[in-house]
Structure formats: C-alpha cells, structure tokens
C-alpha cells in the first residue's frame, strides 16, 4: 500500500485491524463531477469493502472537512454515489489518530499476524464458552501457552473477540466473546 500522509497510513492500519473489513485499496478511482458550477475530477483516498457494502473515503483534516467547498462536495457525493453501490465518508486525520484506539490496533496487528493452530483456537474457545471473556493479562499468566498474546490478537482480528478500544491495552483489558 502507498500513502501520501500519515493519516492515510493510520487509516490502513485501522482498517487492517477491523474484522468487518473485507478489503481496502488506495486511490481506487476518479469521479468526474460538477460541483459549484465547476467540472473537475475527485480522487477518493480509499475504497473500503465491508460485509455491509462499499465505501469511498476522503481523508483530510477536520479544518479541511469543515470548508464550504468540501461540505458541498461531500453532500453531492453522499447523494449521488449510492445508486452506484458506494457510500461516501469524510474521515478526519484527527479521528484516525485517536488514542488508545490506534495503539491497540497496532498491537493487535503486531501480535496477531501469524496464524494459530486449531488446538490453540479450540483452547481459547473453551475458555470463552465458560466465561464469555478473556483478559489481555492472560497472556502474561501463560494460560494459553507461550503464544497467548498471538492467540488473543489473532482472534480479535478475525472478529471472534471484541476489542475494548476506549482504554489502553493493559493486563486488565477485557476481550469479550463473539461466539455464534
């Protein structure tokens, strides 16, 4: 993936850590349009394919998003893109850099990249069936073996565990089960 600004990199990292995201790509298309009596091309920064549909993202600062021209463009695209199968979103750099969410996503990506064995997966599923949750500190206790953090992170990336993004990732952080 290529990015032109750190906010785009943050978006890619957050999208990569989100289980609802099936795929994403940078600068997917050009939209020819007329806005405020001016013809031009607009290049959304990111296309996000979700289980629920497709989104085109414009990544900019909050100040840029609040400008009258950007507001007019956003309004036009939000109204005109649904028949083509897209939802249009403005995502601000400030939102993408929110902590502790960004740090948690980076930790999950760091620990959860490698696949886990069926035995590791089954062991955690049995714990979750009994308790409905697991603490990040379980990794320190070694209850799941030497790859505890990898197992918890992998299953959070897959959506089997819900991640608490509103508090720092510490030993008391509770991951809840999303069992079928």
- Please state the domain extents for the chain: 6-96, 101-177
State residue 116's pLDDT score.
96
Q: What is the pLDDT of residue 1?
A: 73
Q: Which pair of structure tokens corresponds to residue 179?
A: 């069992």
C-alpha distances in angstroms, 67 versus 19, 35, 100, 157? 33, 14, 28, 36
Per-residue pLDDT of the chain (180 residues; tens, 9 = 90+): 777 899 999 999 999 999 999 999 999 999 999 887 889 899 999 999 999 999 999 999 999 999 999 999 999 999 999 999 999 999 999 999 999 999 999 999 999 999 999 999 999 999 999 999 999 998 777 788 889 999 999 999 999 999 989 999 999 999 999 966
Instruction: Say what the pLDDT of residue 62 is.
Output: 97
Give the tokens for residue 156. Answer: 């959070």
**pLDDT (0 to 100) of residue 180:** 66
Domain 6-96: top CATH class: alpha beta
What's residue 132's pLDDT? 95
CA separation for the pair 81, 85 (Å, rounded) = 7
> Which CATH number is correct for 101-177, 3.30.360.10, 1.10.10.10, 3.40.50.150, 2.40.100.10?
1.10.10.10
**What distance in Å separates the CA atoms of residue 93 and residue 11, rounded to the nearest whole number?**
9
């Amino acid at each position: 993936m290529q990015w032109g600004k750190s906010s785009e990199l943050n978006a890619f990292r957050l999208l990569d850590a989100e289980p609802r995201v099936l795929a994403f790509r940078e600068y997917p298309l050009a939209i020819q349009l007329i806005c405020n009596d001016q013809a031009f091309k607009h290049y959304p920064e990111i296309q996000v394919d979700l289980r629920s549909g497709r989104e085109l993202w414009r990544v900019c600062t909050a100040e840029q998003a609040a400008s009258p021209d950007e507001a007019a463009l956003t309004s036009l695209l939000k109204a005109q893109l649904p028949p083509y199968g897209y939802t249009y979103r403005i995502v601000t750099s400030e939102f993408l850099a929110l902590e502790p969410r960004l740090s948690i996503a980076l930790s999950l990506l760091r620990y959860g990249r490698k696949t886990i064995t069926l035995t590791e997966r089954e062991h955690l599923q049995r714990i979750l069936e009994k308790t409905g949750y697991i603490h990040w500190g379980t990794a320190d206790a070694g209850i799941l073996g030497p790859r505890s953090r990898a197992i918890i992170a992998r299953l959070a990336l897959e959506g089997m565990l819900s991640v608490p993004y509103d508090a720092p990732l510490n030993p008391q952080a509770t991951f809840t089960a999303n069992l079928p």
